[in-house]
A = this chain, B = another copy of it.
Amino acid sequence: MAKEIFIGEIVSNEEIQKEFFLMKVKLDLSFDDPQPGQFIMIRIAGLNDPFLSRPISIYSFSRGKNYCTIELLYRVAGKGTRVLAGLIKSSQVEINGPLGGSFEIKADKKQIIFIAGGIGIAPLSLLAKQLYRSGCSSKESMSFYLGAKTADAIVGLDKLQKLCYNINVRTDDGSFGRKGLVTEAFQKDMKKYSATDTMIYACGPKAMVKALSKILTGTKFHCQASLEERMACGTGACVGCAVGIKDNKGNLTYKRVCADGPVFDIRQIVWE
């Protein structure tokens, strides 16, 4: 299967909330159907500053008759995303993807729990949609825990509400939902769920995933967490996006977030 670098054409690129953008990109039909959790490497065609491409999760996907469309939900975090945010309709971007592995769907789990921090909602949204559409899970069996610093950083909720019945929002300052950490919200509810019948999908800042990992220690919950690391190639070649993972014997090894992840069993992640 030949891979290629796609020239994507921007259909729209709107600031849906302060510093958060939704970009819609038209791609050739040869773009593979992305699996939830997969991402793309994006850069502006012909621009060498910023130098590296940036990894962004695929937030939504649709295949039309003449082209595919992907949506990217992103936060302006620095130079690269600021340049993206400045792109107008019809601009061209270079896209490599879909890349990486995806969340594993276990049909035997009755209860699905999503835990997202901020922009971590992006890949989990695609996952929720797919689970719902495929009939694997119902609106009732999917609970979404979403956290952010402030109300300003809560995005993508509207889309979720169509998919999940139970949505818990937490902000650090209480400006939206309840005040507190998203991981604490989950922890409070934890006993309501049967560990063996539940699958947890998590995506968010390192601190969130780490806190979650602590909460889950000693429990039987199975949790797949999507990680972030700085990337250069996105394809597994540079070994730059390393994350400490326990191998079968429990020894530390470094895995590539881009090629071996971005989704890992939370229990295997080694925290410094």
A residues contacting B by CB (< 8 A) are: 47-49
Contacts and interface: CB of A to CB of B under 8 A. Distances in A.
A10 to B, nearest CB: 15
A228 to B, nearest CB: 26
Contacts of A48: 49
Nearest to A47: B49
Contacts of A49: 47-49
Contacts of A47: 49
3 contacts: A47-B49, A48-B49, A49-B49
A61 to B, nearest CB: 30
A131 B49 CA distance: 44
Nearest to A82: B46
A138 B48 CA distance: 51
A163 B7 CA distance: 48
Nearest to A86: B46
Nearest to A48: B49
Nearest to A51: B49
A47 B49 CA distance: 7
A48 B49 CA distance: 7
Nearest to A88: B88
A49 B48 CA distance: 7
A182 B49 CA distance: 42
A48 B79 CA distance: 12
A83 to B, nearest CB: 9
A49 B47 CA distance: 7
A48 B51 CA distance: 11
A43 to B, nearest CB: 12
A244 B47 CA distance: 37
A225 to B, nearest CB: 36
A197 to B, nearest CB: 53
